[in-house]
Structures are given as C-alpha cells and as structure tokens.
Structure 1
Amino acid sequence: MADTMKAARIHKYGKSGVLEVENCERPKPGPDEILVKVHTASLNPRDWLTMRGIYQMRRVVEPFPITLGSDFAGEVAELGGNVTGFAVGDLVCAMQPLRGKFGAFAEYVKVKASVAAKLLDGISSADAAAMPCAGMTSYQTLHDVAKVHPGEVVLVNGASGGVGVYAVQIAKAMGAKVVAVCGPNNMAFCQEMGADEVINYREDDFASREDAYDVVYDVIGRSSPKAVKKALKSGGRYITTIPGPGTAFAALTSYLLGFVWPFKRKSTHLILVKPYPHNLQAMMQLILDGKMKTIVDGHYALDDIEQAVARSQTWRARGKIIIDVS
C-alpha cells in the first residue's frame, strides 16, 4: 500500500475553482479507526457548503487543506489497534463527520469503526455509498422523530432530490400514505417511487389544505412551522433539515413543551443526522427486500468532481450523485 493517494481537497473557501484533485499523504488510522480503500463516494450539498465555508466550525478543528466528502463505501485496508468486529477485506460504508480534514473524496479514508456498517450480501458499492447522509436523515426523521404509524399521511416537500427519494420509499415501507411535492418534470418520477399523491408546487400550495397531514417533512427548507400549522392534523409533526426563520425557536419550544405537556399537540422538529450503522444495515435490508432502491442522477470520476459539484449546486439532481473512485 502506497504512502500517498489522490484526493479532492480545498486550500481555501470559495464557491468555485477551489477544489483540487491532487496527490497527498495517505491517512493512518488511529487506535479506534479503520482505514478504508474507497471504491465509491456520493456527493451531498453539505460537501460543497463546506467548500464555500458555510460550516466554518470545521476550520477551527483542523487547518487547511481539507479533503471533502462524507459518504463512501469501500474495502477495509487497515485496522486500528483497538478495533474489533472488522477484518481487512471487509466491505463497509459510513458517513464521515464534517469535522476533521480527512474526507471521503479520496482513494483512502479513515473513520471511526463505531460508525461503519458492513455491507450485506447483494448490496452494491453505489447503493452503499449513496445511503449514509441522505438515507439516514430520512430514516431517522421517519422512524425516530416522527415515529410514523401505518395509515398516517406523510408529506415530503422536495421529494425528487437525494433526501426526498429515500423519504418517499421509507415512508411507504412503514405503511404511510405518501404525498410528494415536486416540480412538474418530476411528478411521474415521484409516482414511480411509490407516492400516492403528487403535488406540483408551482400550481398548488400544499400548506393551504386544512388538517391534511400527520407529518410534513420539509427537506428543502422552503416552508415554516407557521406556514404549515393549519395543514397539520391534531398531533401533526413538522420536521425540516434546513432551519428557516423561527424554525429553530419553534423546535426548541416543542422540545421543552414535551416535558410539561406530554399530550397530543402539533410540534416542530429540526433533524440533525447521526452516523448510526444499524440504520445503514436496516436500509440495506429494505433494498434487498425490494422496498427501496437507489436512484442515481449520475456517475462522475474523482478527476471530474468539479462537474459533479456543479450539478449538485443546481438543486436539480434527481436522486444521488455518485463519485467512482476506484
């Protein structure tokens, strides 16, 4: 194994022209880490938001250069001294935390063994690399926060994007009636994903309907707790991944009210994804059971990652953008 590798790194923040694919030192795993030879990675908006400097707390933890990328799948190449449960050659996937300088857009990445999941037989590298951030965000939203019950009505705002396509399929697998909100060009696609009803956001305001939804899952941050309040049924949950004006305050208020008023009420929640390997394996099983599939917008080589970033920045990607590393 060579001491150097190819990686996509930034040496400064910027909207474009700052991401360089270059040779650099291969990371060495710590005692509780595994080193993974990356086969496939996937791109998330959080990656290019980091490139722009939106997540600047990362800069406090580690200086430049920073290797971008959080989602990946590959083969275990080396084990830290304290690691058990993994062996060299195991196929794994994981979500690399934003902090730190060793991201997944590289030939090798080191990651805490505690956040990695072994691939189940029959799961492809692209399936595994696409799931972590987008898939776990929707899985944790619907299972852990919304606690969706069969027969409930779940609306997904932004249903055709990377997070949304997982949300539609996971909600259907949980027995929910799914309402997908998207643009006119993606309506048929959302129906193919299993949506029971599709709303064209250019012609119909879903929030104008009264007592219509048990859960509103806003993955694009285009709505607000106030805007959807009358559209939620009694006990309805508004959940978003992107806090807008008033959302963080409303989420905190809902959290505190839960301690003093644990009765049925409308609530607001802000989801922050956590790297849980058991979620990854649960989603792999959904794929094997035919209840979920990976939707790929396009494949890009590591050397072409600038093109992949440009595509993601349009907010028009249908499903996930895959980076083929090796």
Structure 2
Amino acid sequence: MSVKLTLNNGVEMPALGFGVFQTPPETTAASVAEALRVGYRLIDTAASYFNEREVGEGIRRSEVDRSELFVETKIWISDYGYDETLHSFDKSAGKLGVDQIDLLLLHQPVPTDFARTIGAYKALEKLLADGKVRAIGISNFMPGVLEDLLKETGVVPAVNQVEVHPYFTQPEVQAANAEHGILTQAWSPMGGITSYRGESGKSTFNDPVIGEIAAAHGKTPAQVMLRWHLQEGRSAIPKSVNPERIAANFDVFGFDLTAEQLAAIDALNTGVRGGPEPEAITREAFHRDIPEA
C-alpha cells in the first residue's frame, strides 16, 4: 500500500520515498533494489551524493517498470547557471539511466550568487517545458529567498525539500510553502541528524513522548514519526541500508495517530536546526566537482 500526493502541476508523487543521502556508492544499488522490492516507488538522490549511477543500477536490478517509479534528484550549486544546469541534467539523467527525471530540484539557494541561482531555476523551467522533467522544485529555500525566486521566475516550485522532524518543524517555512501551493518534503524526517549533531544523548529516537505514542500503537518511534509526516500532509524520504529497517519504514499505512498525538509531536519542536544554515551556503565554501560520468 502507498499514498500519493498531487503536486501543483497535477503530477502525482508517492508521499513516502526512499532516500540515499550518505549511502556509500558500494551499498546504494542493493539498498535501492531492496526498497523497491518492499514497495517504495519514490527514490530521492542528488548529484552531490555521488551515487546517482548506483541508484540507476538498483532500479535496473529491481526490474520494476519505469512507469511505476518516481525518480527525484537535485542539481548541486557548483553547476548553477542556465547552461551549466542544463548540462547537469544531462549528467544526472545519464548516470540514472533515464530519459526523463520525475522531479528535479535546486539543492540549495546561493544568496551570495543569486543571479546564478535564478539562471539555474530558469533552466529547470526550460527542462520542464521540453518534457525532460515532469516537475521542478527547490530544497532548503527559506521564505524570504522563496519570495525572491518567485519574483524572477514563472513556474511555482512543486516541492521544497527542507529539514523537518519532531525537533525542528520549521512552521514558518511550511506555511510559506502552503501559501504558494508548494509541497513540503522532509529530509531527515525522523531526526536522524539529531543523533550526531544535536545535544549529547538527546535524540528523537529515544524521546519519551514519541516512545509513549509508539508503545500505544505497537509501533517503533521511527514508524510514528513517519506517520506524523504523512498525516500532516508532507512527503518524507527516510534512508537506511538495513533491510529490516527499510521494510519497517514503509510499514506506516495501517494505523492513525490521534489529533492529540500529532499535537504532542508538534510540541517537541526546539527550533534548533541540525543541518547547515541555508543563508551560509556559498559556492566557494561548498564547491564540489560533479563528474561527467
């Protein structure tokens, strides 16, 4: 069983996807194939993860028909600029082994070089118009930068992929997205980033509130957190290389959290970001050479 969300251009996307951030290339293909065997149909990767080729290999191993899959990737800031981004699409599509990418995102805004960010987004608009992608979007765009983007472009992003988990819910970002009909997609949806960047010993996975809700439903804390995202209308892209956890993370469609339980999880928000500050991203500090093949 799966649930689909309809994007603002009418394209349907699975609400729950499989992410491969920090998954080593040597284990990516097997993890993707296992996720597709379990039932995932949305795979999220990025040029800067350096595992797009292995994602493509995992898709081919699975033998799931391409028409059933939703493939999502992201352009890295080193390839921003109109012509550069058009070429970056070719690099990603070639590595993935697909002619069309279902959802293509700009990975980060670059406030110090916003003209290049706009050029990159206009390239996404061209790719959309040419049918090379089915939907376009952004990642880690805060409300002010989103407004600046909308003023200079013609297509409203379909998705804004941002850090959202029980300890960092970004309500103002979610509200800005909703105002423009943009779907919020959560990276680090279970707060895994809190396990190594948060307070010592404090993690969403051992939070007592989440643990109590999990016990009430006979589920794991991870399953509860993913169910929270789905019931609040977000897309979520959990990652794992463990087959048991890959399967467990997909088994979140047979129960419902109560309104009180959803509110209790919402109330855990600390306002503390786990990832880098989007405004601090610069091409100089975060340059990565994205290989041709």
Normalised TM-score (structure 1)? 0.30
Q: What TM-score results when the alignment is normalised by the length of structure 2? A: 0.32
More strand by share: 1
Structure number with the bigger relative contact order (C-alpha 8 A, sep ≥ 6) is 2
Larger Rg: 1
Q: Which has the higher helix share?
A: 2
